[in-house]
Structure formats: structure tokens, C-alpha cells
Amino acid sequence: MSFTPCNRYLLVNKEQVQEEETLIALPEGTFRAENRYERVVIEGISSEVRPPLAVGKAVVVLSHMIEEVDFGDGPVYLVLENHVLGIVG
């Protein structure tokens, strides 16, 4: 699948987080500790995005600002350029 972001969006790859097993069985999603920030890798950028953001760079974003879009070929993850807090490197 080919997806090209537009309007200052970045196509990102979320790092897989392994969930810890607990000894107590709780309904899924209950008391889930979510990180406020998430490290992602940029896989594609729209033409309006300015350097230093570039494909292949790892960046930190607010985790709730990552948009998951699924239109039948599997999900893609997008975040706006101005929601990038910093570059990891």
C-alpha cells in the first residue's frame, strides 16, 4: 500500500509496546497506564513539512494526537507537524 500524507501531516510508525501480564484478571482497557508521550519514526512527510523533520527520524509526540486511519488496507498513523515535541537522536 502506498500512502502520501498531505496538509502538514507526517506518516509515522508507532513502536510496538509489549503489555505486561497481571495476576488479576480485569476487563480489557481497565486501569491501563498510558504514556502521555510516544516515540515514533517518520515514514513519510507532506510537501509542506519543513526541515529538520525528515523521513527516518525518530520524534516524540503526544500520544493522544496520533490519528489511526484504516481504510481497508490496514491502519496508518498520522500526526500533524506542530504536534512534534522534539527529535530523538
Distance CA 39, CA 25 (A): 29
Residues 6 or more apart whose CB falls under 8 angstroms from that of 1 comprise 73, 74
Span of 8-12, 33-37, 43-47 with lowest mean pLDDT? 33-37
pLDDT class of 48 with cuts at 50, 70, 90: very high
pLDDT class of 20 with cuts at 50, 70, 90: low
Distance CA 61, CA 42 (A): 11
Q: What is the pTM of this model?
A: 0.78
Q: Give the up-direction half-sphere exposure of residue 3: CA atoms within 13 A in the CB hemisphere.
A: 20
Residue range 22-31, pLDDT digits in tens: 577 767 666 5
